[in-house]
Chain A
Amino acid sequence: MAPTRTVREELLAAVPSLRAFAISLCGNVDQADDLLQETLYRALANINSFQPGTNMSAWLFTILRNLFRSDYRKRRREVEDADGSYAESLKSYPEQEGKVEFEELRQALKKLPPDQREALILIGASGFSYEEAAKICDCAVGTIKSRVNRARTRIAELLSINSVEDFGPDHTTRAVVAGTRR
């Protein structure tokens, strides 16, 4: 059966956040959009296994997350080769200053193990509860909690944040300079 109007609308409504999740996971827009496309194909092909009234968003995030993880080994090589490719793809953006600041965080996210990265994004940005995130990642709630904690600590280390003042422009500049030297 073809998706009903409501299901289709729910799909569309979920796409922006799903895409933000994909980009945060991949650290690269093109790769993320390919992943999202594959996710939507899968979702449509399996739309009958979606139970109306349940969380469409969580269902889609699960599909995307599983695709990302099953493809991770291959993907990791590409990501490592493509350092700075996200910055490259941002050249056409108008508000560059803000984006450069995000780039620093993106680079830090890339350095996290994927299990910590996905947990941190699901909890810290996508707005899922620990229970929902645990279902999406097929693990225990406690596991999600410890992954998120480790991820936060690691991000703080990577960004060399010792205090809130370190978030200032000087810090960003330093990190960008250090990044280009590497």
Chain B
Amino acid sequence: MQMSVMQRKPRTGRGGKLNPDVQGKIGQQLRAMYDDVVKEGVPDRFTDLLRQLEEPKDKPLDANQSAQLDQRSDKERG
């Protein structure tokens, strides 16, 4: 993933009314708040969701195969 995560240069100049120290502190707080969530990783809800949605499409052969197997075993049982 190509993200310029580390390119956070302190900015002065335009909108320079804001004290750079204050601006830096706001940035720091914002990132701390954000990273706090990032650290939680991927909740199960979403790993499950991705897995669930992908499996049926992902392995059509397996699905067919297992369906055939099911039919076969049904016949055997019947």
Contact = CB atoms under 8 A, between A and B. Distances in A.
Interface string A124-165: 111111001000000000000110011011011001011110
A145 B11 CA distance: 11
Interface in A51-83: 55-57
Contacts of B31: 124-125
Interface of B: 1-8, 14-15, 17-19, 21-23, 25-27, 29-43, 45-47, 49-50, 53-54, 57-58
B4 A128 contact: yes
19 contacts: A3-B54, A12-B50, A15-B46, A16-B40, A16-B41, A44-B50, A44-B53, A56-B1, A99-B36, A102-B33, A102-B36, A105-B29, A124-B8, A127-B8, A146-B15, A149-B15, A152-B15, A152-B23, A167-B29
Given A3-B54, A24-B34, A156 B22 contact: yes
B3 A57 contact: yes
B46 to A, nearest CB: 6
Contacts of A115: none
Interface of A: 1-3, 8, 10-17, 19-21, 23-24, 33, 36-37, 40-41, 44, 55-57, 98-99, 101-102, 105-106, 120-121, 124-129, 132, 145-146, 149-150, 152-153, 155-156, 159, 161-164, 167
